[in-house]
Amino acid sequence: MNGEAGELATERLSVDGPSRTRVALLGSGDLSRELVTALQRLGAEVIAVDRYADGALHGIVDRSVVVDLGDNDELAAAIRWLQPKFVVVASEVVATDALTAAADTGFTQLVPGIRGARLAADPEGMRRLASEELGLPSAPYWFAGSVEELREVAQRAGYPMSVKPVGGSLGEGRSVMVRDSDIEPAWQRAVAASASETPPRVLAETVVEFDSEVTLLAVHRDGLDGPALDFCAPIGHRSVEEPNGQLTVEFWQPHPMSAVALDAAKSIAARVARALGGRGLFGVELLVYGDEVYFAGVNVRPYDATLLTLRTQRLSGFELQARGILGLATDAIMVSPGAARLIYSRRRVGTAVETTPDSVAVVADALSVTESDVVVFSHHEGHPRRRLGLALATGPDVAVSRDRAAQVATVLGKLWP
């Protein structure tokens, strides 16, 4: 920090009333808006800690502090000064040694726990934890750091093989190799979609047959009898990349699963959540084939899938996360089937996203669909793959909800031609 008083960008504190539980949010991106609101409604004081002086959430949090999240000394000093009861990691670039120092005080609790915070930036370590330490069912896998290593893996394991970036997301950069000539194109596709600034690495897996990809949201909290877990209804999803490079991710809830498969999914999610420790919300990614369930990954900030729950559940995933953080009672009751389409862009870093002059008219047209809602995201800085808009819809069943969300997305997409 450059100075304690000078670093407070906003402060809206009352001198009267009960003491408020202080929560430091490391990262102030727009997606944490719902979490901030949920925490404040439950009486918490929320402080946004970020490297920007004008972060997206600085207008709604109780305080904002500007520090370099990647600097151990600077971040540790900020946490010591703020003395929060909880530190919520909401950024991919955070100095984990500073988090360890905060947790060692015994006063501050981390969300997720220190293991989850460290592995959030280490997808390879997360996969090894799940498959090698916990023994969760998954496709046979290997990691490769070059085309030559990928070629050696393919020669040893055989075809077909699925290849994707270790640091990627959203289903981008995936390829299926069926012959030697596919190796180099698969490597290049994965590297191009990698979200990591470190030397490129890819995950190669033996292709397993599956019917669907599912996210199971698990809320980890401290209950009266110790740690407790609650599960939301399973969320199905798929990714579609358009010829112009625009990406749309579709979500729907509930995703139909047999009782056997759902029990297996909950067992896998529970083991992962308990191994990562801490409290809050985890998104466990699964591949489902009939009654068989395979572990595919875990997200300690599953905001994309959670956006759907804003309309499908009595308590959204953000509200459940807030309650989990504060140790309050939760329920994951679903009130309506629903679907969402999240629209991304592949624009160059620094390129502004401009809506059309008649944006209000476009939104109005989108909202004419029955039981629909939209979100148009704001952005602090350019990013090669940004969330642009969200189309939401509910209905009497998943099929109707998905059709309505598709209609909304088609109209909303006119904002980004």
pLDDT band at residue 137 under the 50/70/90 scheme = very high
**89 within 8 A of 112, measured Cβ to Cβ:** yes
Residue 382 has pLDDT above 60, yes or no: no
According to DSSP, the residues that pair with 338 across neighbouring strands are: 253, 394
According to DSSP, the residues that pair with 345 across neighbouring strands are: 386
DSSP label at 107?
Answer: S
| Alpha helix ranges (H) inside 247-375 | 259-276, 303-312, 317-326, 359-366
**61 within 8 A of 28, measured Cβ to Cβ:** yes
**83 within 8 A of 101, measured Cβ to Cβ:** no
pLDDT band at residue 198 under the 50/70/90 scheme = low
Q: d(Cα 386, Cα 190) in Å, to the nearest integer?
A: 18
**284 within 8 A of 215, measured Cβ to Cβ:** yes
Mean pLDDT of the chain: 86
According to DSSP, the residues that pair with 223 across neighbouring strands are: 226
E strand intervals along 119-195: 141-144, 161-165, 175-177
Q: d(Cα 250, Cα 284) in Å, to the nearest integer?
A: 17
If we measure between CA atoms, which residue out of 102, 101, 78, 87 comes closest to residue 6? 78
Q: Is 348 exposed, middle or buried (0-12, 13-18, 19+ CB in 10 A)?
A: exposed
Average pLDDT over residues 197-221: 88
DSSP label at 145?
Answer: S
Average pLDDT over residues 316-345: 93
Average pLDDT over residues 80-84: 93
Which DSSP string corresponds to 338-404?
EEEEEEEE-PPTTPPP---TTHHHHHHHHTTSTTEEEEE---SS--SSEEEEEEEEE-SSHHHHHHH
Average pLDDT over residues 153-174: 83
Tens-digit pLDDT profile for residues 236-255: 999 887 766 678 899 999 99
Q: How far is CA 232 from the centre of its chain?
A: 15
pLDDT band at residue 170 under the 50/70/90 scheme = low
Most confident of the following: 91-100, 124-133, 161-170, 290-299: 290-299
Residue 208 has pLDDT above 80, yes or no: yes
**325 within 8 A of 280, measured Cβ to Cβ:** yes
> In this structure, which amino acid lies at residue 360?
V
Q: How many percent of the chain have pLDDT more than 70? A: 87
Diameter over CA atoms, the chain: 70
